[in-house]
């Protein structure tokens, strides 16, 4: 089944334009979704639109309204909404080019694929893409999608263009609302140095295949067990380690992460020797542990 575009129109750079199509770059088809069922019959629950005074209503009787004050609405029809047309309704007009680092990560939103719409559009599309790639810049433009005008950030990717919706200023909260309450503390330089070494040991390439949704995997395993008729019980909650001294915790973490950047299994802090033979073995370059009461 062919992927349907989310938006179709024209990409324009000054006097150069070409028809393009915008496609969603991510998918949520693999997620675990639950249906609402009756606890006895297991029939799916139907959500019926209901008026608080007259009772259930048909879909054809529902209209859109904007609340201008409590209990007072302005009714707007679909035809009136479609009549609100901006130049960006059918055209993604590139207005500016910026460096990628100039856009705060807070503003990046959903990713899309932008591709030429038809063979006649390939040449002009390729010229725009290659020019963006040569200059190493991100293009900014606007289009109307889902009844909103959205700012788009475009960058060359492979044979196409990767497009991101950019949040506007009103959608992004001021960092001072949360970060402003954090006290200004200057930790010891030695602690920062140890933490930096831990970061170096854990450094590695980004491989998205290694980062699966373990919670969703656990849900699928639960569903399989329930399908077999098994009774599923919750596992015991792991005990959290008590951090008595920050410097000690940093040093222990540095020891656990050493060895090729791979995490090693943590040794319990209160581990006692299990036999006399293991207790008698001398530890290289370490002071023998004192016997605890």
Domain 7-27+84-171 maps to which CATH number in 3.40.30.160, 2.40.290.10, 3.40.50.10470, 3.40.920.10? 2.40.290.10
92 touches 10 (CB < 8 A): yes
For the stretch 122-138, pLDDT in tens is: 999 999 999 999 999 99
Which residues, at least 6 apart from 215, have a Cβ–Cβ distance to it below 8 Å? none
Q: Where are the domains of the chain?
A: 7-27+84-171
Q: What is the mean pLDDT of residues 218-227?
A: 80
**What's residue 24's pLDDT?**
94
Q: Is the per-residue pLDDT at 274 higher than 60?
A: no
Tokens of 28: 């949520």
Distance, C-alpha 132 to centroid of its chain:
26
pLDDT band per the 50, 70, 90 thresholds, residue 241? low
**What's residue 29's pLDDT?**
67
Q: Is the per-residue pLDDT at 276 higher than 90?
A: no
Answer with the residue of higher pLDDT: 243 or 256.
256
Of the CA atoms within 13 Å of residue 132, those in its CB half-sphere come to 28
Q: Which residue carries 């019926």 as its tokens? A: 48
pTM score of the predicted model: 0.68
For the stretch 154-211, pLDDT in tens is: 999 999 999 999 998 999 999 999 999 999 999 999 999 999 998 888 888 888 777 7
Of the CA atoms within 13 Å of residue 232, those in its CB half-sphere come to 13
Q: Is 97 exposed, middle or buried (0-12, 13-18, 19+ CB in 10 A)?
A: middle
Residue 253 phi, psi (nearest 5):
-65, -40
């Amino acid at each position: 089944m062919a992927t349907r575009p989310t938006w179709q129109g024209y990409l324009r750079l000054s006097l150069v334009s070409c028809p393009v199509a915008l496609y969603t770059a991510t998918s949520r088809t693999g997620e675990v979704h639950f249906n609402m069922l009756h606890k006895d019959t297991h029939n799916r629950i139907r959500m019926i639109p209901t008026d608080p005074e007259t009772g259930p209503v048909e879909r054809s009787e529902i209209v859109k309204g904007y609340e201008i004050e409590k209990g007072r609405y302005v009714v707007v029809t679909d035809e009136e909404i479609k009549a609100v047309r901006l130049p960006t309704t059918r055209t993604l007009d590139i207005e500016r080019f910026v460096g990628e680092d100039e856009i705060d990560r807070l503003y990046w939103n959903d990713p899309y694929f932008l591709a030429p719409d038809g063979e006649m559009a390939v040449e002009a599309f390729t010229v725009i893409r290659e020019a963006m790639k040569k200059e190493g810049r991100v293009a900014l433009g606007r289009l109307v999608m889902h009844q909103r005008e959205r700012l788009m950030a475009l960058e060359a990717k492979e044979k196409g263009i990767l497009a991101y919706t950019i949040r506007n200023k009103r959608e992004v909260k001021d960092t001072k609302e949360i970060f402003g309450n954090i006290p200004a503390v200057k930790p010891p330089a030695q602690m920062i140095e140890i933490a930096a070494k831990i970061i170096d040991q854990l450094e590695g390439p980004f491989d998205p295949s290694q980062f699966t949704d373990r919670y969703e995997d656990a849900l699928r395993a639960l569903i399989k067990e329930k399908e077999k008729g098994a009774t599923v019980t919750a596992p015991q909650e792991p005990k959290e380690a008590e951090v008595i001294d920050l410097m000690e915790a940093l040093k222990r973490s540095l020891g656990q992460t050493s060895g090729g950047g791979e995490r090693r299994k943590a040794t319990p802090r209160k581990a006692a020797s299990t036999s006399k033979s293991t207790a008698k073995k001398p530890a290289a370059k370490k002071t023998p542990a004192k016997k605890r009461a």
